[in-house]
Structure 1
C-alpha cells in the first residue's frame, strides 16, 4: 500500500487539475474579502475573518473541490487507458481505489494548508486586528483539519461515483448540493451534530465560544465514523470491478432495395 500511495503521489506532478484546487482555495478567501466590503456593522478581526473563510470552504468550495479532484485522479486510469494494464498485476481494483483515496486525503491536507496560507496573507493585507502567533496557529490547525474532515464527509460520494464512467462530474454536483445543505443544517444544533458536513465544524470547535453553539464532540465523532464505515463498505464491494461504461447501441442502417 505504501508503494501504491507513493506512486500515486508521483502521478500528481503531471495533473494540472491540482492547480484548479489551489485557485478554488484562493477563491474562498477572495469571496471572504469581498464580504468585508458590506456596510452591515460587522467588526472584522483576524479570528472572524478565519471563521468566514471556514464557512465558505464548508458550504460552497471544498466539498465540490475535493470531489472533483479525487474523481479526476481516479478517472485518469480509465482515460489514459492504463487501468487494463494495472489489472494484469496482482493488485485488486479495491486496493487501487484505497490507494487513490489515501492520496486524496493527503491532498486535502495540502489544500487546507494552502487555504490557511492565503487566509493569513489576506489578514495581513487587510490589517484586521487580533493578529498573534496563537491566532495564526489556530487558523492553520482549524482549516487543515476541517479540510480533512470535509474530505471524509464526501468520501462516500467519491467512492460511489468512481464506479461510473466520468462519474466525477456527477459527484461534483452532488457534493456541491451536499455541502450547501450544511448552511441549513447549521441552523439546528441537533442536525448539525449529525450532518457530516457540519460535523466537520464541530470537530474543530467552530465558534465554540458562542453560547448558542453547543457541539457534541462524541456525537460528531460517531457520525464521522459512520461515514468512514459506509465508505469502506462501498470500496470493498468494488472488488475486482472497474468503472461501468455506458455503451450506446448502434443504430442499424437499413439499405434501401432497388434503385
Structure 2
C-alpha cells in the first residue's frame, strides 16, 4: 500500500483537474465575500468570514469538488488505457482504489489550506475587524479539518460510482445533492449531528459559542466512522469491470459439397 500511495503522489503532477479544485476554493471565498455586500445588518468580522466560508464549502462547493477530483483520478487509469498494464503486477484492484482514495484525502487537506489562504487574502482586501494570528490559526485548523471530514463523508459516493464506467460525473451530481441536503439537516441539531455532511461541522465545533448550536461529538464521530466502514466495504468488494471474460467466437464449419 505504501508503494501505491507513493506512486499515486508522483502521478498527481499530471492531473490538471487539481487546479479546478483550487479554482472552486477561490470561488467559495468569492461567493462569501460577495454576500458580505448585502445590507442585512450583519456585522462582518474575520471570524465570521471564516465561518461563512466553511458553510459555503460544506453545503455547496466542496462535496462536489472533491468528488469530481477523486472520480477523475480513479477513472484516469481506464481512460488512458493504463489499467490493464497495472493489473499485470501483483496488486489487487481494491488496493489500487484504496490507495487513490487515501491520496485524495491528502488533496482535501491541500484544498483546505488553499481555501484558508484565499480567506486570508480576502480579509487583507476588505479589512474586516477581528483579524489576528490566533484567528488565522483557528481558521486554518477548522477549514482544513472540515474539508477532510467532508471528504470522508462523500467517500461512499466516490467508491460506489467507481464501479460504474465513467460514473464520476454521476458521483458529482449525487455529491452536490448530498451536500446541499446539509442546509436542511442544519435546521435540526439532532439530525445535524447524525448527517455526515453537517457532522463534519460538529467535529470542528462550528459556531459552538452560540447557545442554539449544540454538537454531540460522540454522534458526529459515530457518523464519520460509519461512513468510513461503508466506504471500506464498498472498496473491498469492488471488482475490475475491464477484467471480464471475453467469450471467443466459435467458427462455423462450412460443410463440403459433393460426395
Q: TM-score range by the shorter chain?
A: over 0.9
Contact 1:26 1:118 in 2 (8 A): yes
Contact 1:46 1:128 in 2 (8 A): yes
Residue 56 (structure 2) pairs with residue 68 (structure 1) = no
Matches of 2:12 and 2:127, distance apart in 1: 36
* Aligned pairs, number: 244
Show CA shifts across 1:129-173 (max 9, x none).
001111000000000000000000000000000011110000000
Matches of 2:30 and 2:82, distance apart in 1: 38
Matches of 1:67 and 1:105, distance apart in 2: 11
Matches within 5 A, 1:159-198: 159-198=159-198
Q: CA deviation at 1:6?
A: 1.1
Matches of 1:241 and 1:18, distance apart in 2: 25
- Which residue of structure 2 lines up, in the alignment, with residue 250 of structure 1? none
Q: CA deviation at 1:57?
A: 0.2
- Which residue of structure 2 lines up, in the alignment, with residue 255 of structure 1? none
Matches within 5 A, 1:79-228: 79-228=79-228
Contact 1:164 1:243 in 2 (8 A): no
Change in CA separation of 1:136 and 1:244 when aligned onto 2, cut-off 3 Å:
farther
Q: CA deviation at 1:243?
A: 6.2
Matches of 1:65 and 1:244, distance apart in 2: 30
Q: CA deviation at 1:14?
A: 0.7
- Which residue of structure 1 lines up, in the alignment, with residue 248 of structure 2? none
Q: Which TM-score applies when normalising by structure 2?
A: 0.93
- Which residue of structure 2 lines up, in the alignment, with residue 242 of structure 1? 241
What do you get for the CA RMSD once the two structures are aligned?
Answer: 1.1
Runs of 4+ in 1 over 2 A off after TM superposition: 240-245
- Please state whether the residue corresponding to 1:193 is helix, strand or coil: helix
> Which runs of 5 or more structure 1 residues have no equivalent in the other structure?
246-259
> Which runs of 5 or more structure 2 residues have no equivalent in the other structure?
245-259
Matches of 2:167 and 2:240, distance apart in 1: 15
Q: Which TM-score applies when normalising by structure 1?
A: 0.93
